[in-house]
Amino acid sequence: MSHDPVHPLHGQKALVTGASSGIGTAIARAFAAAGAAVGVNYRSHADEAERIVQEIRDAGGEAAPLKADVSSEDEVRAMFDEFGSAFGRIDILVANSGIQQDAAFPDMTLDQWRRVIDVNLTGQFLCAREAVRRFLAQGPDPSISRAVGKIICMSSVHEVIPWAGHVNYAASKGGVMLMMKSLAQEVAQAGIRVNGIAPGAIKTPINQEAWQTPEAERKLLELIPYGRVGEPEDVGKAAVWLASDASDYVVGTTLFVDGGMTLYPSFRENG
């Protein structure tokens, strides 16, 4: 268990999915800075993953790129095997990979529906199941952490806010929320902590059109009481806390990192 406040993840081995971009990259960087060895999962952007890994190594940290499509059972299993070979054990999983495929409901294709559910929900199931199996097999090591293992499920404010035009995405995140809570209830007695992070609007490639122009950003800010669009680092810092022993009594909770987006801001003047 790390008593080092500067490196609260010292000695821990963390796998972050979708870490070649956006929020996943920020979490990988923040974990490495907090003392963890980091598996940087990517699906297709090997060059981006290599860049993050090199950056972490140049700063004196430990990291390895891991290619896998999180919606493929075989690839997920192989990724965890590769992670085990590289780092010897696993302490933290951040199931972060996610996609949007937006469409008006009457036009939404079955393929758009399935792809989003496959990556955002089934992908988290496959990764969380593999992590739980490995946490249980390796057992506790109080010199590393009070918990046997930690899982962070990347959700969204859309686990609670309905989202017209994005029905597949909102359904996937609502599913992530109850998967996270049900899993947390099931494995807490084995010493495994499962929690979620629900970001609001964070500046990443997934939602570029929502903040790229001043007009789009102004409209977006109407939804954010705190008055700024979030940065990936805002989520990285929250993930470090949720993965560390500082949050050891936090189990089955969604941590909203949203500048107040879930506070019904339109009620400020119209309630």
Binding residues vs ligand NAD (CB under 6 A): 17-18, 20-24, 42-43, 69-71, 96-99, 119, 154, 156, 199, 201-202, 204-207
For ligand NAD, the closer of residues 90 and 239 by Cβ is: 239
d(CA 34, CA 94): 15
Q: How far is the CB of 27 from ligand NAD (least distance, A)?
A: 9
Helices then strands, each counted (H, E), the chain: 9, 7
Who's near 133: CB < 8 A, 6+ residues apart? none
For ligand NAD, the closer of residues 122 and 145 by Cβ is: 122
Is 226 labeled as catalytic in the residue annotation? no
Q: How far is the CB of 249 from ligand NAD (least distance, A)?
A: 25
For ligand NAD, the closer of residues 35 and 98 by Cβ is: 98
For residue 158 the two structure tokens come to 């859309």
d(CA 184, CA 104): 34
* Residue 87: strand pairing partners: none
For ligand NAD, the closer of residues 144 and 223 by Cβ is: 223
Spot the catalytic one: 42, 169, 226, 249: 169
The backbone torsions φ and ψ at residue 174, rounded to the nearest 5 degrees and listed phi first, read -60, -40
Round the CA-based radius of gyration of the chain to a whole number and report it.
18
d(CA 270, CA 25): 39
Q: How far is the CB of 143 from ligand NAD (least distance, A)?
A: 32
The backbone torsions φ and ψ at residue 42, rounded to the nearest 5 degrees and listed phi first, read -145, 160
Q: How far is the CB of 110 from ligand NAD (least distance, A)?
A: 18
At CA 44, angle to CA 43 and CA 50, rounded to 5?
A: 95
For ligand NAD, the closer of residues 86 and 117 by Cβ is: 117
For ligand NAD, the closer of residues 26 and 187 by Cβ is: 26
d(CA 64, CA 57): 9
Q: Cβ(120)–Cβ(176) under 8 Å?
A: yes
d(CA 194, CA 199): 17
Q: How far is the CB of 117 from ligand NAD (least distance, A)?
A: 12
- Name the one residue in this structure whose structure tokens are 């993840």: 9
Q: How far is the CB of 204 from ligand NAD (least distance, A)?
A: 3
The residues annotated as belonging to the active site are: 169
